[in-house]
Amino acid sequence: MSASAQERMAARLFLEAVFPTMQVLLDDDPKLHKSFANFHATVQFGARDDGDLLCCHLVFDGPHVDVIQGPAEKPDLTLTFSSIEKMNALLRGGLALPGIRGNLLLLPKILSLLMGLMIMSPKNVPKTPEKQALKVKCSLYMITRALSKYNKLGDPDMQEFCRRQPDRIYQFTVADHGDPNAIACYLRVKAGNSKSGHGVYERRTPFVHFCFKSVEGAMKVLQKQVEFVKAVELGYVETIGSPEYACYLNDYMAILQGMLT
């Protein structure tokens, strides 16, 4: 039995937008960085869908990972769920077991990295400032990438949103200890095309700039402790630019967060 269109979309977003944030974890989490220092392997991760295989493979070269869509030629380890629904359930923080083949000695490290992705879950409330900053960074990098992928994967509303815009930058920054660009990423939309990136986009003034005043303020929004409009009123985030399009984009972000958590 095939998965629903929404579950297939969620699965693609997990593989194409969530999994690439593994690199942020490997770069910024000292424990994971050390654990993967001498790790060299190819790991395939995916699910069956009415006979088809939806998957990606992770190519590790020490604490660097390339996320490549599609099956690997000779993976060292494969994790394959019997359905897309089961794969999505696990990635949302639920319980589901894949079929596992290959070198089982690689499994503990892969599971530790998959568990690391749970830092983006609204239920995960890090205690230390370092972990809070990591949560915010992963979440914003993921959501800007997911917005672009949502367009490229064919959601009609998101495609229309992107199609009617000439060339616009939606910038996200989080102020931290006086450095306004400590955490920064952006979404570029141009005549139906979209692209996400890390850092501050330098070649064009943002059409909308979501400026979070602190990691703590960003946490409150990402944890859904306060609605976006209320967060603006309380000074947790300032939106500079078009308020109408800021609301549009926030609506899409809420849709994606609901789909992936």
pLDDT tens by residue, 211-245: 999 999 998 888 878 888 788 888 899 999 999 99
Question: Are the CB atoms for 139 and 33 separated by under 8 Å?
Answer: no
| pLDDT confidence of residue 233 | 87
Match 């960003």 to its residue by tokens.
218
Residue type, 203: R
Residue type, 250: N
- Measured in degrees and rounded to the nearest 5, phi and psi for residue 197 equal -160, 165
What confidence tier does 167 reach under pLDDT thresholds 50, 70, 90? very high
Length of the chain as a residue count:
261
Question: Are the CB atoms for 180 and 173 separated by under 8 Å?
Answer: yes
Rg (CA), the chain: 18
User: Residue 58: which H helix or E strand, with range?
Assistant: strand 52-61
Question: Are the CB atoms for 10 and 88 separated by under 8 Å?
Answer: yes
* Mean pLDDT on 145-156: 97
Q: Mind listing the pLDDT tens digit for each residue in 40-97?
A: 999 999 999 988 999 999 999 999 999 999 999 999 999 999 999 999 999 999 989 9
Q: How many CB atoms lie within 10 A of CB 140?
A: 26
CB contact set of 191 (below 8 Å; sequence gap of 6+): 162, 163, 165, 166, 167
Question: Are the CB atoms for 83 and 96 separated by under 8 Å?
Answer: no
**What is the C-alpha separation between 46 and 34, in angstroms, rounded?**
26
Instruction: Please report the domains of the chain, with CATH numbers, ordered by start residue.
Output: 5-120 (3.30.1050.10), 129-260 (3.30.1050.10)
| pLDDT confidence of residue 66 | 98
**What is the C-alpha separation between 208 and 186, in angstroms, rounded?**
10
